[in-house]
Chain A
Amino acid sequence: MNAPDRAGLGNAFEAAATGTLSGAPIERVEDERFLTGAGRFTDDVRFEGMGHAAILRSTHAHARIRRIDCTAARALPGVMLVATAADIAQANKPIPIRLAPLPGLDRFLQPTIAADEVRYVGEPVAIVVASSRYVAEDALDLIEVDYDEGPAVASITQSASNATLVHAAVGTNVATQYPVERGDVDRAFAGAPYTRRERFRCHRHTGAPMETRGLVAEWNGSLMRVWGATKVPFFNRGLLASFFDLPETAVDMIETDIGGGFGIRGEFYPEDFLVPWASMQLGRPVKWIEDRREHLMAANHARETECELEIAMNLDGTIRGLRGRVMADLGAYVRTGGGVAVSRLAQYLPGPYRISDFGCEVMALVTNKTPVGTMRGPGRYEANYFRERLLDLACGDLGLDPVAVREMNLIARHEMPWPIGRLVPTEGEGAYDVGDFHSGLHKALSAIGYDRLPRDGALIDGWLHGVGVACFVESSGGGKSENARIVARTDGSFDIYSGVSTMGQGHETVFAQIAGDELGAPISAFRVHHGSTAHVDYGWGTFHSRAIVVGGSAVKLAAAQMREQLDALAAAGHRGPPAEDIEVKLRYDTKGPTYSYGTHVAHVAVDPETARVKVLAYVALEDVGRVMNPLLAHGQAVGGAVQGIGATFLDELRYDENAQLLSGSYADYLMATSTEAPAVQAVLLEESPSPSNPLGAKGAGEGGIVATAGALANAVGNALAAWRLPLTSLPLSLDNLARALREARSAAAVPGQDH
């Protein structure tokens, strides 16, 4: 940019280093308020006379409700409201699907409160509002629910048998079932010299953001304002308005600062209706802050899947075809994004490889467990684990080098665009647009120093060393459109309004970088407003790593239009800031998803006597098209990798055979902490900018997590090569790994203790 005489920017203009903000490692402008305690989170929203809500949740996995007696609870001093389904009556409607409305799923929608049957531990049965949360919980203790407990469905296998039905009226536990195929998979398998079929399992876990869910709702007689909105405030506004038969303009969803989301926070949950409803009943503001216990039983779970996967190969390692069956546990109801993960899982099973012939049967089943939703890298974490682990097992069988086999089968740059077929029934044909998958693999190996690493079970000081590799490709940048509005103020500053909310990624910084480059102004000239329904006409939200790709592109184009207007002023002889505010509103429509890709490499050491695994080095490489801010992008990649490393070894939501949740506290649900986080090296490439958007950007929020289980399972398998462990089930917890070693030792005469 070279427009020294441009109008409108005052002092800010002189300070600008033009065209250099995007791509610079600029510290987040948000950080100062977070680090100084000036952030304003949902629990910081307080009103005079505000009531505090608590939810009575089912203690049974499956039961009929015979009777609920609220008499004693209503009589407790300080209690303002006790309500059950009987009180909510007609307003208690099923919560519709937002994404992936796969055939059949809409038979299993969740009501906002259980009426006569509960189907999972944690399902809302009553809401109490009181003068404090303490009193509200005292009142919960006084509500008597007479349950008639029935048999519960606790597993995919049990569900598939249909012996016990989660929803008797529907007549089946199979929520959806469909085949997907590209090419001719039977032909590919016919006469194949080598095939291997394995049954894989990915464990149930969840995003567990540091800040749990929370809402403050205030009805003033004509306007419903809800603080704590995030992820998809506009969609949720429409939904809430429809529950109350209000026009959308009578509902404002207001974003506060947020302590993480990871996909699970910000969807429309039962509480997103119950709390505003209570506020309307009482005519006073009502706050509900989810406690950790509730969070682990009531917020979306994710990932629980079983997969039978079979690979056909030539003896040189060329993949001929891949086929299988995926069965996902959706929990008791189909929530707003319940179908996303399983459909994406099937879509990304073939991954970045030249697999023209692929077929998969997709099944999603209901059980008496907490419903599932999307979590960072939905379907990808699972798919990459299943496929990459199977590849290594096949390499072991055939005596082939896992890296060489990946090189041989990765789709080459010159083969792009590479058609992936129609693998999701609610979408059309797709294609990987651009990419150099080989470069990603080579640079990841180089980054970790692959050639020099001890591996294949090398014994050093009692530890067996192993290295594992996993390659991936994934889509991002969905949600077709985004709005941006920019206002040039008379003091030379700008307000940017975006329809994308934040999960804490740093929108305020990056959007200012993008606009700053267009307008030749420094970061400090911008105030970025995002996420609340008052800012723009509509917003599509934050998911599918779309904030920069779609929201950032909208900001860029709006800023470019603003620049034209300011240039026109300058051409007319105007100097300095505009005499009155100038506004630009713009809607940007994407041309399609972006495809990020990359490779993860893990170096681990395993103690074969205790099954302890140390992650010694980890490289997470992803080509994100364009790095807008390397500090933030690296933070996303490292954070994703740590979350995935934790998930692979630790995080697990366990149920007993009666579908009672066993991991309902942080003493039982373990996540990686600083002591478990290895030094993750994030490598971000910009070799293949996306052709789908003016920034060339691709999603960068999920690539850090999506290949972790694959790389780690392969690394542990490589370290314990002597035992030839299948490692087809997650998590790789101490107990599970110890059992695998025990079984291998007793099954074969492989030396153990003397290893």
Chain B
Amino acid sequence: MAAMAFMHYLPNGKVCTIPVMKPAPLDILPATSVAHALSLLGEHGDQARLIAGGQSLMPILAMRLAAPAILIDINGIADLRGIRLEADGSVLIGALTRHRDLERSPLLAERLPLIAAAMPWIAHVQIRNRGTLGGSLSHADPAAELPALCIALCATIELHSPRGVRQIAADDFFQGVFATARADDELLTAVRVPATTPAQRWAFIELARRHGDFALCGIALTADCSPTGAVTQARIVVFGVSDCPRRLPHLESAIVGSAPSPASIDQAMQSLDTVEARSDHHASSEYRLELLATLARRALRQAFGFDERTAP
């Protein structure tokens, strides 16, 4: 929850403090299946909000920043939970899979070590016990880790609606602060991460004011390499800096084509993309941009085994 979530911004541009901390009256409707959830969504329209782990929505309700009349509780939809290896080597993760399950999954540790490495950075154990993958992606906090991971891993996001099922690339899903490509009548049901090669390089790095706080800046990156070590494709994603996770295409291009060295990484950093950084009372935009340059360089060094440092 970034600071903005707890402040009312008035039409005159001023900030207003919120007076209460108990949710307004609401009804909770348990959904028993995806079809049921979709029908409830259709029935209640914008009066309703979906709730899974509740780690972002509950504070919003308590502060009455949102006052939906109805919560559709999807926690009981067993089909939406679990991690599965598909025949093509891709990994399918149900939207209701808790952060803690991602963190502890042997399959992810083996197949997608980037996810396993990043999970401990997400909030605290108590929150990870409840928070869900689908909830984090749908909420789309600019500083959240999972959206960035999905982009770095080239994941696709599966959405169900009365119109059917559609798949959307994570690259196209996140559109701004708390804004995604999900339509109001859609339910995010799963994330599919394509097979990765054992030679894939990766790094995850973030800096927050305290462990578990929202990142002021973070980097998730993957790089595919040829047998000679040359980078064939890179996905470098920054989060916490602008309105949603962003790839750094110029930096990606600069690192592709040869086997990186500390010197070539420093050289590539000259091509670091221009990013619009936000400013709040935790970090100015200048500081976020400084962190972006430092952490992107460190992430590259880490991915290719040149970093002697232990933490950001």
List chain A positions with a Cβ less than 8 A from chain B: 54, 56-57, 59, 121-122, 133-134, 137-138, 140-141, 291-294, 297, 461-462, 607, 609-612, 650, 654, 656, 658, 660-665, 667-668, 670, 672-673, 675-676, 733-735, 738-739, 742
B18 touches which of A293, A650, A739 (Cβ 8 Å): A293
Chain B, 1-46, CB within 8 A of any chain A CB: 1-3, 5-7, 14-25
Residues of A contacting B163 in the complex (Cβ-Cβ under 8 angstroms): none
B17 touches A650 (CB 8 A): no
Q: Contacts A667-B3, A673-B210, A676-B210: A735 and B287 contacting too (C-beta < 8 A)? A: yes
B7 x A293 contact (CB < 8 A): no
Smallest CB-CB A-B distances: 9 pairs: A675-B211, A291-B21, A137-B20, A738-B287, A609-B294, A137-B22, A665-B6, A667-B1, A660-B15
Which residue of A297, A612, A742 contacts B286 across the interface (Cβ within 8 Å)? Answer: A742
**Is B118 in contact with chain A by the CB < 8 A criterion?**
no
Report chain B residues within 8 Å CB of A670.
209-210, 213
**Contact with A54, one of B2, B20, B211, B310 (Cβ below 8 angstroms):** B20
A734 and B24 CA atoms in complex are apart in Å by: 37
Residues A140 and B20 in contact, CB atoms below 8 Å apart? yes
Report how far A279 CA is from B19 CA in the complex, Å.
23
**In-complex Cβ contact of A735 among B14, B20, B282, B309 (8 A):** B282
B: number of interface residues (CB 8 Å):
44
Q: How far is the CA of A610 from the CA of B282 in the complex (A)?
A: 14
CB-nearest residue of chain A to B21: A291
- A704–B39 Cα distance when bound, in Å, is 59
Determine if B308 and A735 form an interchain contact, defined as CB atoms under 8 angstroms apart: no
Is the Cβ of B6 less than 8 Å from the Cβ of A667?
A: yes
Report B-chain residues with C-beta under 8 Å of the C-beta of A612. 207, 311-312
Write out the residue numbers on chain A whose beta carbons fall within 8 Å of the beta carbon of B294. 609-610
Tell me the minimal C-beta distance from A565 to chain B in angstroms: 54
User: Would you give the shortest CB distance from B214 to chain A, in whole angstroms?
Assistant: 8
Q: Is the CB of B15 within 8 A of A735?
A: no
- Decide: A667 near B2, CB < 8 A? Known: A56-B19, A291-B21: yes
**For residue A461, which residues in chain B have a CB less than 8 angstroms away from its CB?**
308-310
Within 8 A of A (CB), among B287-312: 287, 290-291, 294-295, 308-312
Shortest distance between the CB of A69 and any CB in chain B (Å): 16
Chain A residues whose CB sits within 8 angstroms of the CB of B6 once the complex forms: 664-665, 667-668
Query: Separation in Å of the A290 CB from the closest CB of chain B?
Result: 10
Question: What residue in chain A is nearest B5 (Cβ atoms)?
Answer: A667
Q: Tell me if B284 counts as interface (CB < 8 A to partner A).
A: yes
Set of chain B residues within 8 Å of A662, measured between Cβ atoms? 3, 7, 15, 281
Contact indicator A610/B207 (Cβ below 8 Å): yes
> Is there a chain A Cβ closer than 8 Å to B85's Cβ?
no
Q: CB of B216 within 8 A of chain A? A: yes
**Given the complex, which residues of A lie within 8 Å of B14, measured CB to CB?**
658, 660
B20–A293 CB distance below 8 A: yes
Q: Give every chain B residue within 8 A of A607 (Cβ-Cβ).
A: 312
Q: B308 near A292 (CB under 8 angstroms)?
A: no
Give the interface SS of chain A, mostly helix, strand, loop or mixed: loop
For A610, the chain B residues whose CB sits under 8 A away are 207, 290-291, 294-295, 312
Please tell me which one of the listed residues A56, A665, A734 contacts residue B209 in the complex, with CB atoms under 8 A apart. Answer: A734
List 16 additional A-B contacts (Cβ < 8 Å) besides A134-B25, A667-B1.
A141-B20, A293-B63, A610-B207, A656-B15, A662-B15, A663-B281, A667-B5, A668-B282, A675-B210, A675-B211, A733-B209, A734-B283, A735-B282, A738-B284, A738-B286, A742-B286
Contact check, B25 vs A122: say whether CB atoms are below 8 A apart.
Answer: no
* B212 CB-CB contact with A under 8 Å: yes
Q: Given A660-B17, A662-B7, A735–B283 Cβ distance below 8 Å?
A: yes
| Bound complex: CA A122 to CA B17 (Å) | 9
**Chain B residue with minimal CB distance to A294?**
B21
User: Does A668 contact B15, Cβ atoms closer than 8 Å?
Assistant: no
When distances are taken between beta carbons in the complex, the residues of chain B under 8 Å from A656 are 15
Q: Closest approach, in angstroms, between the C-beta of A210 and any C-beta of chain B? A: 16
Contact of B22 among A56, A133, A292, A742 (CB under 8 A): A133
For B189-216 the 0/1 string (1 means CB < 8 A from A) is 0000000000000000001011111101
How many Å from the CB of A420 to the closest CB on chain B?
39
Residues in B with CB closer than 8 Å to A122 are 17
**Residues of chain A within 8 A of B7, CB atoms compared:** 662
Identify which of A461, A462, A658, A672 gathers the most chain B CB atoms within 10 Å of its CB: A462
CB-defined A-B contacts under 8 Å, sample of 14? A59-B19, A134-B25, A137-B20, A291-B21, A291-B22, A293-B21, A294-B21, A610-B295, A654-B281, A662-B281, A670-B210, A734-B282, A738-B287, A739-B287
| Distance, CA A735 to CA B278, complexed state (A) | 13
* Complex: A280 Cα to B132 Cα, angstroms: 48
Residues of the A chain whose Cβ atoms lie less than 8 Å from the Cβ of B312: 607, 610, 612
**Contacting pair B16 A676 (CB below 8 A):** no
- When chains A and B are docked, how far (Å) is the Cα of A656 from the Cα of B25? 32
State in angstroms the CA–CA spacing of A56 and B287 once bound together.
38
Task: Say yes or no: A675-B20 contact (C-beta < 8 A), given A662-B3, A667-B3, A742-B290.
Answer: no
Q: Write out the residue numbers on chain A whose beta carbons fall within 8 Å of the beta carbon of B290.
A: 609-610, 738, 742
B20 touching A734, Cβ below 8 Å: no
A734→B287 contact, CB < 8 A: yes
Q: Which residue of B lies closest to A660 (CB)?
A: B15
Instruction: Identify the closest chain A residue to B15 (Cβ).
Output: A660
Docked-complex contact B281 and A668, CB < 8 angstroms: yes
Q: What 1/0 flags go to B237-261 for Cβ under 8 Å of A?
A: 0000000000000000000000000
B283: nearest chain-A partner, CB-CB: A735
> Are B283 and A59 neighbours in the complex by a CB distance under 8 Å?
no
Whole-angstrom distance between the Cβ of A672 and the nearest chain B Cβ: 8
A224 to B142, CA, bound (A): 52
CA distance A245 to B210 in the complex (A): 50
Complex Cα gap A665–B6 (Å): 7
Contact with A along B63-87 (1 / 0, CB 8 A): 1100000000000000000000000
Q: Give the complex CA separation of A609 and B296 in angstroms.
A: 12
In Å, the complex CA distance between A571 and B54 comes to 71
B284 cross-chain contacts in A, Cβ below 8 A: 735, 738-739
- State A675–B124 Cα separation when bound (angstroms): 10
**Given contact pairs A610-B312, A662-B7, A668-B3, A650 touches B207 in the complex (Cβ within 8 A):** no
What are the residues of chain B within 8 A of A138 when measuring CB–CB? 24-25
Q: Which residues of B contact A650 (CB under 8 A)?
A: 209-210
> Using Cβ atoms and an 8 Å threshold, which residues of chain B touch A294?
21
Shortest beta-carbon distance from A136 to chain B in Å: 8
| Measured CA separation A607–B294 after assembly (Å) | 11
A735 and B217 alpha carbons, distance in the complex (Å): 12
**C-alpha gap A661/B14 in the complex (Å):** 11
A4→B16 CA distance, assembly (Å):
70
From A121, A667, A734, A739, contact of B216 by CB (8 A): A734
User: Which of B15, B63, B308 contacts A462 (CB under 8 A)?
Assistant: B308
**How close is B21's CB to chain A, nearest CB, in angstroms?**
4
Residues of B close to A134: CB separation below 8 A: 22-23, 25
Cα distance A380–B83 when bound, in Å? 55
* Residues of chain B lying within 8 A (CB to CB) of residue A293: 18-21, 63
B20 with A462: CB separation less than 8 A? no
CB distance from B190 to the nearest CB of A (A): 29
Chain B neighbourhood of A141, CB < 8 A:
20, 24, 64
Residue of B nearest to A734 (CB): B209
Closest A residue to B217 by beta carbon equals: A610
| Interfacial residues of chain B within 46-67, with CB under 8 A of chain A in the complex | 59, 63-64
CB contacts (< 8 Å) of A291 on chain B: these are 20-22
CB distance from B311 to the nearest CB of A (A): 8
Give the complex CA separation of A738 and B311 in angstroms: 17
Query: Please, which residues of chain B bring their CB within 8 A of the CB of A54?
Result: 20
Given the complex of chains A and B, what is the CA–CA distance between A57 and B20 in angstroms? 9
How close is A676's CB to chain B, nearest CB, in angstroms?
A: 5
Q: Contacts of B282 on A, CB cut-off 8 Å? A: 668, 733-735
In angstroms, Cα B282 to Cα A294, docked, is 21
Docked CA distance A665–B2 (Å):
11
Closest B residue, CB atoms, query A121: B17
CB distance from B203 to the nearest CB of A (A): 16
